[in-house]
Every structure is written in C-alpha cells, then in structure tokens.
Amino acid sequence: VDETYIMVKPDGVQRGLVGEIISRFEKKGFKLTGLKLFQCPQDLAEEHYKDLKGKSFFPKLIEYIVSGPVVCMAWEGVGVVAAARKLIGATNPLQAEPGTIRGDLAVQTGRNVVHGSDSPENGKREIGRLALLASFTLCDGYFSS
C-alpha cells in the first residue's frame, strides 16, 4: 500500500496548525499510521534534504527545520503520495492554489508549514529513516510563555 511522510514544519507547530493539517488528510480519507512530535536533529534534517545540498538556501533551510519541534507523520492510502502533494500545494505559498494547505495558510517559501514526500520511493525511505532513529528528544517547554 502507498505511504507518504508528512511533516508539519516548525512554523506550523508554533502557529498551532497541527490539528488543521491533520484534519485535511483525515477528511480526504487517508489513514494515519504514525505520528511523533520531536526535535529534528541537524544530521537528520541534512539527510532529509540532501538533494538540495548545493542550493544557496540550504543552510537557511536546515536552520529552519531544526528551529523548533516538528510533527512527523506516516499516512497510508491508494495514491497518497501524489494526492498529499496536491493537498499541500506548490512550494511557494503565493503560487499555491487557494484550498491547498500552503495556499490557505502560508506566504513564504522558507516558511511553508508542511513537507510531503515527492515519490513513493522517497515516502518509504523517509518513513524508514524516522523509524530507525533510536532516540527522540522530548519537546516540553518550547513555548517561552
């Protein structure tokens, strides 16, 4: 069965959009099979985005991903990888259609609230990588007040 890795990025968690984002996937009809709030370690962030390593924005991207806790999820369903990308919308939120997560909830490419795997192979790889991670950092106390 198809599976995809969805990650609510630090801005989405900080802005309180976790429920809204989960709700969109639930309402569409996909099945949540794994969920974890955790602080992404630097090396995992770099591995996750390794295809973008040469890009000028890469250091900023990694800094962003490790800037606060993320919500990592595995979702299952027929055609879920491509469908999730549609629900998420274009990388640049200003180009994302209204009705998509980024189109409705974000304005900046560098703060685009959510990640979704771009192929079934990467979906399996990304979920596997997360599952292998032995230790998760607890995320209590991250709101300053």
Give the binding site for ligand GTP (CB under 6 A): 52, 57, 60-61, 91, 109-110, 112, 115-116, 118
Q: Single out the segment in contact with Mg ion by CB under 5 A; choices: 11-19, 73-81, 98-106, 111-119.
A: 111-119
Q: Which of the residues 71, 87, 105, 115 is marked catalytic? A: 115
CA-based nearest residue to 6, from 99, 73, 93, 90: 73
Residue 32's CB is within 10 A of a number of other CB atoms, namely 13
48 is catalytic: no
Instruction: Provide the minimum distance between the beta carbon of 84 and ligand GTP in the complex, in angstroms, as a whole number.
Output: 9
- The distance from CA 11 to its chain's CA centroid, rounded to whole angstroms, is 11
Residue with tokens 């995809």: 4
Task: Give how many residues touch Mg ion by CB under 5 A.
Answer: 1
Q: List the 114-116 sheet strands across, edge first.
A: 31-38, 70-76, 3-8, 114-116
CA-based nearest residue to 115, from 12, 11, 9, 23: 9
Q: Of 27 and 50, which has the nearer Cβ to Mg ion?
A: 50
In the complex, which residues of this chain contact Mg ion (CB under 5 A)? 118
Binding residue positions: 9, 57, 85, 91, 102, 112
Active site residues: 115
Binding residue positions for ATP: 9, 57, 85, 91, 102, 112
